[in-house]
Amino acid sequence: MSALRPMARFENRDSVSAADAWLVLQTLPGLTPERLSRLTEAFENPTEALQAPPDVFARLCGRKARGVLDKDSPLDLAARIRQEASKLGAGIITRDSARYPESLREIYAPPGAFFVEGEILAADRLAVAIVGMRRPTDYGRRVARQLAEDLARKGITIVSGMAYGVDAEAHRATLDAGGRTIAVLGCGLTQNYPANHKELRQEIAGQGAVVSEFHLHAHPRKENFPRRNRLISGLSLATVVVEAAQRSGALLTARLALEQGREVMAVPGPVHTRKSTGCHHLLKEGAHLVENVDDIVNALPEYARNMLDNPAQIRVKGLGPEKRETPLANLHPNLTDNENALLLLLENGDDTIESLTQQRGLPAQEVSSALLRLELAGLVRQTSSGMYERVT
């Protein structure tokens, strides 16, 4: 009988959706981002990866991960995870979803899935990370709060790690300013960590999102936080460091941002304290010097600055080939040709950003920016399933 069990699991696994496959792979024990990346490089899709021969899967992902699949089918595993997340009131976003942030797709070893308390919106593409020491000086606290408040008032989402110190100051200042903020955890959503931030976490979820790539019961282990930091920088256009020692998690986040092709910025501090050495090191290495919010905005990508300067006049480069009788500019004179073309495509019904990108023949970032402009203008909206639809 035991010889038949692997075949039964293989048949069951064969019917797993891409979303469930990503979810299962992401939450298997010992399946680090590096291992997940190797696995997805070896196979065309996550469903095929789950169908890998046991010895191949164990070699790529570890015996613990393989052992879980030997006991339960991926369908059962995914169903249990989804049921538990639903009881917690948490959402799940998998890599195949249109709701998956485009900024995360661009980083090395993006998570196959992550859990969300609250909601991630299209407007969160305009995000800046603010990170720093857990025990900052009064100067560091004031600077973190001022920068977060000023950025929030400009419509920029603030991303941080909900840790004590600079992280918490940035989150709270954003909430007080009525802005959106995202907290990235180094543990599962069932864990109350840090212990004194339960109320802050609830406020963030109500005015932004709390996210984690770890399985729901993962404890806040030391090795989790470098993984957490790569998502903080990965969700952001830029990372601003406010007070950091020479060796700190904040400097690791800055290094990860640099590796991801994002802007790195630092606030200078008093020369007589070790709490300034990390920022001063970044500045010597070429990080943007930040004295006020304008220093941050001026260093953001051009398309982001355009959105902030005048959301109604965002320009999107390029226009794919299209046969039409009416000039696109005549449809909505205040929109670009590309934005009008997207509106025409959405007249046929709801559609995904991937499909719209293929139909327009343009880079995903340009289509994503155009959709954000249309969403801010109230012409389109994102549905609960992550698709886009016209607002009539």
31-58 pLDDT, tens digit each = 999 999 999 899 989 999 999 999 999 9
Of residues 173, 185, 298, 165, the one with CA closest to residue 243: 165
Cβ neighbours, 10 Å, residue 89: 10
pLDDT tens digits, one per residue of 218-234: 999 999 999 999 999 99
Pairing of strands 91-94, 181-184: unpaired
Lowest-confidence region among 199-203, 329-333, 376-380: 329-333
Answer yes or no: is pLDDT of 211 > 50: yes
Average pLDDT over residues 101-127: 93
Closest by alpha carbon to 188, among 162, 161, 215? Answer: 215
Give the pLDDT band of residue 358 (cuts 50, 70, 90): low
Structure tokens belonging to residue 213: 């790539």
Segment 353-379 mean pLDDT: 78
Lowest mean pLDDT across 5-9, 56-60, 220-224, 266-270: 5-9
Q: Name the residue with higher pLDDT: 157 or 373.
A: 157
Give the whole-angstrom CA distance, residue 44 versus residue 49.
Answer: 8
Concatenate the DSSP letters of all residues of 194-247 into one string: SGGGHHHHHHHHHSEEEEESS-TT----TTHHHHHHHHHHHT-SEEEEES--SS
Q: What's the pLDDT score for residue 49?
A: 93
- 36 with 50: CB under 8 angstroms? no
Strand-pairing partners, residue 366, are none
Angle at 214 between CA 212 and CA 218, to 5 degrees: 115
> Which among 139, 40, 27, 37 is positioned nearest to 84, based on CA atoms?
27
Q: Are 254 and 235 in contact (CB under 8 A)?
A: no
222 CB-contact burial (10 Å; exposed 0-12 / middle 13-18 / buried 19+) = exposed
pLDDT, average across residues 193-204: 96
